[in-house]
A and B are shown apart, each in its own frame.
Chain A
């Protein structure tokens, strides 16, 4: 167990290191001179050179990388080029917004997937099952931005039940905040729910064929208690694994969903900073997202190894 923990932690550190190299390399081949960006076109050569020296941009890339990582490890993400704010304070400001979207989308996904998966597995071959399968198939093919626009068109523009875009923070007004965030959460959650429905159906079908289920029926248990008390619990593990693996795709979805609904979260920050070449913010936001993905998969692996001692470390986090 301890060796598993150590190896898994080591693996996580290696992957994080490689992610930092990729992110650093990406941003440093971006065209454009940061000093010129900050000072504007009229800047003199001298002031440009002075600023480059101040920012460490005249150092070799390897040195710049280690300075950057060193700062990162101390929680210093650098400063935004655009408005001189700390990247870390920008991130702290935006993360709760994206977190709210994430939590609500997962809630939507689970609320759809669990009943849909149970119905289609226990009523295999019926109309219920085929409707759930068709839902899962079309849900997987619905890009969040298209579903988002469709939802805006139907529920905001035509019916007027929801605001077409915007954001109210939870601390300001809980009810209004949830109301604003519902359409985005559905737009993002449906795709995940489709994926989870598919997974839960096949996993549940497999479990329902095991001996202990037959025993349950044989001793006269109701279908309800067999399914909810025994089968569901045993079929949920692969579903959680899939949610972990889907988390990266999911975070990508938040980026575009935030753009569509004009939600001031991490994704919108990232898109804006990419479009305006605000490198420190791009680096910070991408690093944070990758860290979230790696950490979630790490946690899932660790929790499993505790729950199920048969699971051994065999590969990477993905």
Chain B
């Protein structure tokens, strides 16, 4: 009997609708070739960053004065810099710095921005309209890089402080995004129903509104990681981010700029990897956005 049923009912019909939705969304993601490319490269870079210690053939800070400014070779795939350090290893460890900077600073921005955005959007009123929103206006009027520079100078140079500075600079964007989402949701029936059934505001916000705003937050967070990586590289280029001898793509670029005529590989490899990382994350982020909402383009 069971056999008969199986042949008569097409598989899709007995499939869980939620599973089907996910299948459909991932189908859409996998059709988008650019997004697949972005995703593959992004996960490749994450893999590289995690396993840097195993993948790098040399110690990234080890100086070899008998092999200074050498071009790419079998021994040194990306060549060596002015101190005889292996650029391939430094680029691999640089991925660690960049991705860490991107993830942690966006994490900081989310940790501050999500609660403020939720409260601001849900309760509205004076605090929202006159304090929080105007403060985000003010913060967004100062160029992000300039604010990050000033904050990094206040906190002192170094990767940790740079990540805190970038996180703070990214925060107003998240506050505005989440507040806007909450404003749209708070008028919906399910929120009314929640209120009518007497659950607390806290539970309503955390268990019902927040999950409904996850999609745009995820997309924005992905794209913000790319922006954060650029700002970290800029700060390191200017000497306020990762400190020598630790490898950061930004500081490697600054160092390599002085050798463009004699050893261009010093600048070109880290620069190319900044570009590759940022474009991959952007493509992947755009892909996720289209996956979650095909109407948004």
- Hey, which bits of chain A sit against chain B, CB under 8 A? 11, 14-15, 18-19, 21-23, 26-27, 29-31, 137-138, 140-143, 145-146, 149-150, 152-153, 157, 164, 202, 248-253, 255-256, 259-260, 270-271, 274-275, 277, 282, 286, 289-290, 293-294, 315-318
Among B34, B150, B260, contact of A149 (Cβ-Cβ < 8 Å): B260
CB distance from B153 to the nearest CB of A (A): 5
User: B134 to A316, Cβ gap below 8 A?
Assistant: yes
Most chain B CB within 10 A, of A15, A29, A164, A277, is at A15
User: A318 to B268, Cβ gap below 8 A?
Assistant: no
Complex-state Cα separation, A250 to B267, whole angstroms: 23
Complex-state Cα separation, A318 to B175, whole angstroms: 13
Among B134, B142, B253, contact of A145 (Cβ-Cβ < 8 Å): B253
Among A15, A146, A253, contact of B134 (Cβ-Cβ < 8 Å): A15
Q: Which of chain B's residues has its CB closest to A316's CB?
A: B137
Complex-state Cα separation, A277 to B153, whole angstroms: 8
Question: Does B76 make an interface contact (CB < 8 A)?
Answer: no
- Write 8 A-B pairs (CB below 8 A) sorted by A numbering: A26-B151, A30-B153, A30-B154, A251-B143, A259-B237, A294-B141, A318-B137, A318-B140
Chain A residues with CB below 8 A from B260, complex form:
149, 152-153, 157, 164
Number of interface residues of B (CB under 8 A): 49
Q: Which of chain A's residues has its CB closest to B278's CB?
A: A141
User: A18 to B146, Cβ gap below 8 A?
Assistant: no
Given A26-B150, A152-B257; 8 other pairs, CB 8 A cutoff? A15-B134, A18-B137, A26-B151, A137-B286, A140-B282, A145-B253, A274-B150, A286-B142
Interface 0/1 of B130-149, CB less than 8 Å to A: 00011111111111111101
Complex-state Cα separation, A149 to B267, whole angstroms: 8
Interface of B is mostly: helix
User: B141 to A317, Cβ gap below 8 A?
Assistant: yes
Find residues 234-264 in chain B having any chain A CB closer than 8 Å to their own CB: 234, 237-240, 250, 253, 256-257, 260-261, 264
User: B134 to A18, Cβ gap below 8 A?
Assistant: yes
Complex-state Cα separation, A7 to B255, whole angstroms: 50
CB distance from B241 to the nearest CB of A (A): 12
CB distance from B154 to the nearest CB of A (A): 5
Q: Which of chain A's residues has its CB closest to B145's CB?
A: A252
Chain B residues with CB below 8 A from A14, complex form:
134
Question: Does B226 make an interface contact (CB < 8 A)?
Answer: yes
Chain B residues with CB below 8 A from A260, complex form:
257
Q: Which of chain A's residues has its CB closest to B226's CB?
A: A141
User: B153 to A274, Cβ gap below 8 A?
Assistant: yes
Question: Does B274 make an interface contact (CB < 8 A)?
Answer: yes
CB distance from B111 to the nearest CB of A (A): 20
Q: Which of chain A's residues has its CB closest to B256's CB?
A: A149
Complex-state Cα separation, A170 to B6, whole angstroms: 81
User: B279 to A255, Cβ gap below 8 A?
Assistant: no
User: A145 to B233, Cβ gap below 8 A?
Assistant: yes
Chain B residues with CB below 8 A from A18, complex form:
134-135, 137-138
Interface 0/1 of B169-206, CB less than 8 Å to A: 00000001000000000000000000000000000000
Find residues 61-108 in chain B having any chain A CB closer than 8 Å to their own CB: none
Chain A residues with CB below 8 A from B253, complex form:
145-146, 149
Chain A residues with CB below 8 A from B176, complex form:
318
Complex-state Cα separation, A140 to B147, whole angstroms: 21
Complex-state Cα separation, A256 to B233, whole angstroms: 11
Chain A residues with CB below 8 A from B268, complex form:
150, 153
Most chain A CB within 10 A, of B136, B230, B250, is at B230
User: A290 to B137, Cβ gap below 8 A?
Assistant: no
User: B238 to A289, Cβ gap below 8 A?
Assistant: no
User: A317 to B274, Cβ gap below 8 A?
Assistant: no
User: A22 to B138, Cβ gap below 8 A?
Assistant: yes
Complex-state Cα separation, A149 to B282, whole angstroms: 22
CB distance from B275 to the nearest CB of A (A): 6
Question: Does B156 make an interface contact (CB < 8 A)?
Answer: yes
CB distance from A220 to the nearest CB of B (A): 32
Complex-state Cα separation, A137 to B279, whole angstroms: 7
CB distance from B273 to the nearest CB of A (A): 10
